[in-house]
Structure 1
Amino acid sequence: MGYTKWTDEHKNRVTELGKQGLSSSKIAQKLFDEFGVNLSRRTVSRYLSTGHTSSRYDKLKKNTSKVKDVKRGTEIVINKDGSTTSSTTMQMTSEQAKDPEFVLRAHGFNPDDWDIVSARNNFWQQNSQENGLIVIEMIGDMLHSDKINSTETVSGTILEDVDMPKAIDEAMQFTEAIVVTALENANTVMIKSVGGNHDFDISYMFMIWIKERFKQAQVDVNNRYRTAYLLGHVLISIQHGNVNKKNPAQILANECRHLWGIATTTEIHSGHLHFDKTEDQNGVVFRQFSTPKPSDDWETMNGFVGANKLMYALEYNDDRLKVEHFI
């Protein structure tokens, strides 16, 4: 491959054309037209950004150069061959990740001047406090019965009679109030859910209604017994609490290995037993939440009337719980 020796005239002309706003590829074409020299777009781009004409200048440096933009969360590494490696955290869809121009611009590069040699994207369900994320967890048994005209659990246990049409209507009003408020006060709203032992089937249909009703929110409709998401570097798993009792932390580590490796704090959230309990088991925080429902006749008969009837809003920073609000 031939080698073109840069002259001062070439350098001055490249600098002049660069100040005029021409792209590297257009400047390379201009130099060929004017001087008959065949310079690559990448070589022109390197000269404009570094003042050097050859990638070999980097060999004079002991280490590669790094530039960090702390506020944006970006690290740019200038490699010895003149190429650049950029790492950053951004919001994008899977379709945008396939668009080279979008990826280049997201990293602060002009697509006319740069080519992507390779790219790797890791998709995390995460956001930060300053970006305004509110996550709503629905951990089962919002609806007392799994049937409409009789009051039974999923397994067929007969319960105290409840007016299910009225209960569903009130559940819709309650959900509407919470989600609308969240959408008004956050840039992004995620709704994560699992079914309970009372309402597993009917809650699945209820989540379909939520997804259709609130298209601005990111609604997770699933028929799983547990699910997990990443909030910054906090891994949170939700499950109703009636199953997977033996070693939920180990199951979480096996099922969500990538998220487990990223997280600095891990929590498991559950309900089911209707009373508060928080404990740390080998670094995994278990939060069992109470329920705000009034005591029914069965609970009163058996003396289960002393638990706090609360809802909770937990505020996290990037790596741990910051504030616990009682509602």
Structure 2
Amino acid sequence: MTTTPEKLLEIGIKKRNREIIDSWSSLAEDFSEGMFSDGEQYRLWVKNRLRTQDKNKNQLTSITENFKESIEINKDGSQSSNKLIKMSIEDSKDVNYLLKAHGYNPDLWELISARSNIWNSYSKKDGIMQLYASKISVKPKKDKLSIESIRSMFKEMSDNYIRPTHNPIRYSKNGMMLEVSIADIHLGKLAWQGDSNDTYNWEIARERFFHIINDVLTRTQAYKFEKILFCWSNDFFHYDGLTKTTTGGTPQDTDLKFAQMYKIGTNMLVEAVDILSQFAPVETFYVGANHDKLTSYVATEHLAAWYRNDPNVTVDTDPKIRKYVEFGKCLIQFSHGHAEGKRIGEVMPVEAREAWGRTIYHEVHAGHFHSEKTVTKDNGVIVRYLNSPTGTDTWHFESAYIGALKVGQAFIWDKELGLLDAIYTTVE
């Protein structure tokens, strides 16, 4: 059997360490297969190999010690990380592996670029190792929620929430329709008296939200409703995603981390639907707005999953930003009002052509401007921009968008007679 150079070196090291009593000459004769003419040549060969290895080890150790790991945080929120990482070529192509190796959660960060260079290193424990000098650039993920975090929140809520048992007590098959529209609550907004002349936080938002609902239900005790229309998705959340900006990327002042805002918000919505559905079957839906287009949509899906087996609650998860509700001779368009401009009252006959032909009373209910304004279009459509119960933040104060009443609104609809009454709930 042929003895390899590695085996010859191993035997020579044992001889130097006095683990073998045989002479160098006998070892060369027995194992070198003519590679060495005598024992002295074998001994010198082992000595030189070990000297070369020690030199390489010292060089590798010096290289490793001189490598400087670094993290850079850039003005735009992106970061760069430079580390020595033990990995394979396949690992160097795996985005999630690289993010985790550099200490970034793949649910929260996305990879912009990556570069890996092979380094060799030495340690007494592992000997000579092949490492990679890995440099990556990352940025926070926008407009994306962690599926695991949403699943965890949903399960926690499902395990702990005590759901009231009820049958609607003001329901009538041929009754009227109650529309509860709470526009622009902006859960998560932070306003400070010192620089905005107002105080607002998530606790105030929650208090106002339920005050409006309870006030409306109290003031409509004389009515029996066929259904309650619950419109909440008009900037219900103050920002959209992990970077605390609107959907379009504008930074916002907030008193809540994203997971807190989402958890508190979905709990508020479930509680609100449970309250309303004690009086009549509830229909709710998604309206795309400029502060929380994604987060409100995910919250709508959350409601749909929560009430999937409840015959008294209907949740429309259609992702289109405008919705139409037909009730007898009434057709109502729900929009946030930030995108359509002057066209907001002109799309109804096109988008809801058949319902338009069946109905007489046509209205658009929108938010966005935080103050009430009514416009009648040439085609007879009434556009109502609704008040908001939210606080005044620094940007609105400095821009002089002040003075609007903090009000929630609700409407009572009759199938034959159209809009019968509007209810205003002043929260301040």
TM-score (norm 1): 0.57
- Identify the match of residue 407 of structure 2 among 310, 316, 326: 310
One-letter amino acid of the structure 1 residue matched with residue 363 of structure 2: E
Aligned to 2:246: 153
One-letter amino acid of the structure 1 residue matched with residue 409 of structure 2: Y
**Is residue 299 of structure 2 the alignment partner of residue 299 of structure 1?**
no
**Is residue 325 of structure 2 the alignment partner of residue 232 of structure 1?**
no
* Structure 1 residue 229: Cα displacement: 1.2
Aligned to 1:180: 274
Q: Secondary structure at the match of 1:185?
A: coil
* Structure 1 residue 130: Cα displacement: 5.2
Aligned to 1:200: 293
Specify whether residues 141 and 177 from structure 1 end up closer, same or farther in structure 2 by C-alpha distance, changes over 3 A only: same
Q: In the comparison of the two structures, how many residue pairs are matched? A: 199
Which structure's relative contact order is higher, taking Cα pairs within 8 Å and 6+ residues apart?
A: 2
Maintained 8 Å contact 2:329/2:360: yes
**Is residue 357 of structure 2 the alignment partner of residue 264 of structure 1?**
no
**Is residue 237 of structure 2 the alignment partner of residue 143 of structure 1?**
yes
* Structure 1 residue 292: Cα displacement: 1.1
CA distance in 1 between counterparts of 2:394 and 2:232 reads 25
Q: Secondary structure at the match of 1:167?
A: helix
Aligned to 1:18: none
Specify whether residues 139 and 169 from structure 1 end up closer, same or farther in structure 2 by C-alpha distance, changes over 3 A only: closer
Q: Secondary structure at the match of 1:229?
A: strand
CA distance in 2 between counterparts of 1:226 and 1:241 reads 9
Q: Deviations over 1:109-162 (max 9, x none)?
A: xxxxxxxxxxxxxxxxxxxx85521011134211111113x2111121222244
Maintained 8 Å contact 1:141/1:199: yes
Q: Secondary structure at the match of 2:323?
A: strand
Maintained 8 Å contact 1:211/1:221: yes
One-letter amino acid of the structure 2 residue matched with residue 159 of structure 1: Q
Q: Deviations over 1:196-254 (max 9, x none)?
A: 11111111111011111223211011221211110221100011111122323331101
Maintained 8 Å contact 1:290/1:309: yes
Aligned to 1:252: 348
Q: Secondary structure at the match of 1:132?
A: strand
- Identify the match of residue 191 of structure 1 among 284, 290, 300: 284
CA distance in 2 between counterparts of 1:205 and 1:190 reads 17
Maintained 8 Å contact 1:267/1:284: yes
Query: What are the equivalent positions in structure 2 for 1:71-86 lying under 5 Å apart?
Result: none
Structure 2's unaligned 5+ residue stretches are: 1-172, 175-222
Aligned to 1:326: 424
CA distance in 1 between counterparts of 2:254 and 2:278 reads 37
CA distance in 2 between counterparts of 1:160 and 1:316 reads 38
- Which structure has greater strand proportion? 2
Maintained 8 Å contact 2:286/2:319: no
Q: Deviations over 1:37-82 (max 9, x none)?
A: xxxxxxxxxxxxxxxxxxxxxxxxxxxxxxxxxxx99xxxxxxxxx
Query: What are the equivalent positions in structure 2 for 1:46-125 lying under 5 Å apart?
Result: none
Structure 1's unaligned 5+ residue stretches are: 1-71, 74-128
Q: Secondary structure at the match of 2:407?
A: coil
Aligned to 2:337: 241
CA distance in 2 between counterparts of 1:323 and 1:131 reads 14
CA distance in 2 between counterparts of 1:173 and 1:309 reads 23
- Identify the match of residue 288 of structure 1 among 385, 405, 412: 385
CA distance in 2 between counterparts of 1:242 and 1:131 reads 31
Aligned to 1:170: 264
* Structure 1 residue 281: Cα displacement: 2.1
TM-score (norm 2): 0.44
